[in-house]
Amino acid sequence: MRFLAACVLTGLTVACTPGPLTPPRTGQPMNKPVALGSEETTGSLETTRKQLMGVWELVDLKNAPPKGGVPVPVKATGTLTYDQYGNLTIDARTADPNAPVAAREVPRVSFKGRAVIDAVNHELKLMDVTGNVNPDEVLAPERRRRYAFENDLLKLSSFDERGTVTAETTWRRVK
């Protein structure tokens, strides 16, 4: 009986001994975890907001004729400002006959609103737009815009419900 008790006691003692005191040198995580917030995903909403944030100057503008067709060049100047809260401001000037009539009737067109970003589809939609002319006549805020970043350029293409491009703008980052 004593022999049996000694065997059980020895077995329990061996089973409870701790493992190695030094960590294994060859084991590694299989998925290379990254701490939250330490590396941003390309194309994420936060990355797009950071790319948009700042002041941009208008370098090129093309607008589709009122009866449709391929967008034609419009001579214009302007700035686009996007802040950390999603607010978008556009100030522009044009007297070009290819520009919308409402944009030619004032010395400076000014709009303010929010830009709602769809990072998956690379689109943004203007919301709650106010301005010194009717936004519907100049910006068509109900339309979505595709965005693309190329170095220090931002390209926006406005398109209608059929997917036809109605306007194209190119902006260069100022700051």
Cβ burial 106-126 (10 Å sphere, 16+ → b, else e): eeebebebebebebeeebbeb
Name the token pair of 79: 């700035």
**Quick one: how many helices (H) and strands (E) in the chain?**
4, 9
12 in helix, strand or coil? helix
Q: How many CB atoms lie within 10 A of CB 143?
A: 15
Q: Residue 106 in contact with residue 92, Cβ under 8 Å?
A: no
Q: How confident is the model at residue 166 (pLDDT cuts 50, 70, 90)?
A: confident
What residue ranges define each of the domains in the chain, with the CATH number in brackets? 45-173 (2.40.128.20)
pLDDT (0 to 100) of residue 38? 45
pLDDT (0 to 100) of residue 60? 93
Tell which wins on pLDDT, 138 or 92: 92
Strand stretches in the chain, DSSP E: 54-63, 72-73, 76-82, 87-94, 109-118, 123-131, 144-150, 153-159, 165-173
H/E run at residue 139: none
Over residues 58-114, the pLDDT tens digits come to 999 998 877 777 888 999 999 999 999 999 999 999 988 888 887 888 889 888 999
pLDDT (0 to 100) of residue 167? 86
156 in helix, strand or coil? strand
Percent of the chain with pLDDT over 70: 72
41 secondary structure, DSSP code: P
